[in-house]
Structure 1
Amino acid sequence: MGKGFMYLFLIIDWYSGKVIDYELSSTLEKGFVLRCLKRAFSHCKPDIMNSDQDSHFTNKDYLELLEKEGIKVSMDSKGRATDNSQTERFFRSLKYECILLQEFENPRALRHGIARYVQFYNQERPHQSLGEASPVQFYADNDKKIAS
């Protein structure tokens, strides 16, 4: 994609591994994180929101939004990526199964590629930790068991 960076914020359901929502930005301004959260909260709200201690997650607007929505804040220890292993695992999969395999010419192409990958990851990609089910299938199968 030439020079420059893009930043990806995402929300993953730790139960099923499903990517609930994500936002891609060319800057590190906090607005892209807040937009993603508001979009996600319009259709589901977690009891707890876990994150690292990056400035996006320690700023007043982020913390106030979670408090307003009644969501508990959980932050990983500094320098402990393993505390947020589900998210780190997704980023590894995205990198090796999508980003490094394709030549994205511009941010628009990257957005499209990530959108396709997230759909694949959620709906088709088998996950060893889910008994080889996709996140959507795992959730649907276990929802049926709970309802029975």
Structure 2
Amino acid sequence: VDLFSRQIVGWSMDERMKSSLVIDALRMAWFQRHPQKSSGLLFHSERGSQYASFDFRHVLQGYGIVSSMSRRGNCWDNACSETVFGSLKVERLHGLRFKTRRAAKDEVINWLLWYNQERLHSTLHYVSPMQ
């Protein structure tokens, strides 16, 4: 999530949470935004093993991004991402059952597109992330 625009700029889905999953999402975000390596970017995350992995930290370092993980039990460094996941669950997935993983993925992708293009944010003075 780009904290300035609230746009979801990188995402990836799989059956298991692993470092390659977050690396794919980071690469997507990097190539969508094309930031300067010296721009002082921070990557806020929880303390999960995929974010602490050597491979992920190596990719962050290659892009010149500083990792930001708060102390154990403190969710504030990752609050924006937690809010996005909460919104996804409440606004789109709550109460739904899917016959296939593909159907579930399609529903999430449709929500991500809607979120970026249409969902209004009070932080953005009630415009969508892509406006």
State yes or no: 1:34 paired with 2:23: yes
1:66 maps to 60
> Matches of residues 101-112 of structure 1 in structure 2 within 5 Å?
101-112=95-106
Residues in 2 aligned to 1:92 and 1:28: alpha-carbon distance in whole angstroms: 18
Structure 1 vs Structure 2: percent identity of aligned residues?
28
> Matches of residues 1-148 of structure 1 in structure 2 within 5 Å?
12-44=1-33, 45=35, 47-137=41-131
- Deviation at 1:116? 0.6
Residues in 1 aligned to 2:96 and 2:125: alpha-carbon distance in whole angstroms: 28
2:88 and 2:111 in contact (8 A); partners too: yes
More deviation in 118-127 or 101-110? 101-110
What secondary structure is seen at the aligned counterpart in 2 of 1:104? Answer: coil
Residues in 2 aligned to 1:34 and 1:52: alpha-carbon distance in whole angstroms: 15
Number of matched pairs: 126
Deviation digits for residues 33-80 of structure 1 (CA, Å, limit 9, x no counterpart): 212222322232471111111111111111111111111111122111
2:118 and 2:128 in contact (8 A); partners too: yes
Using the size of structure 2 for normalisation, the TM-score is: 0.88
Distance 1:134 1:101, change over 3 A: farther
- Deviation at 1:96? 0.5
Unaligned runs of 5+ in 1: 1-11, 138-148
Using the size of structure 1 for normalisation, the TM-score is: 0.78
2:120 and 2:126 in contact (8 A); partners too: yes
More deviation in 123-132 or 101-110? 101-110
Which is higher, the Rg of structure 1 or of structure 2?
1
Name whichever structure is richer in strand by fraction.
1
1:16 and 1:135 in contact (8 A); partners too: yes
What secondary structure is seen at the aligned counterpart in 1 of 2:3? Answer: coil
More deviation in 23-32 or 115-124? 23-32
More deviation in 33-42 or 62-71? 33-42
Shift >4 Å, 4+ stretches: none
Q: For 2:31, give the aligned amino acid.
A: S
Residues in 2 aligned to 1:131 and 1:53: alpha-carbon distance in whole angstroms: 32
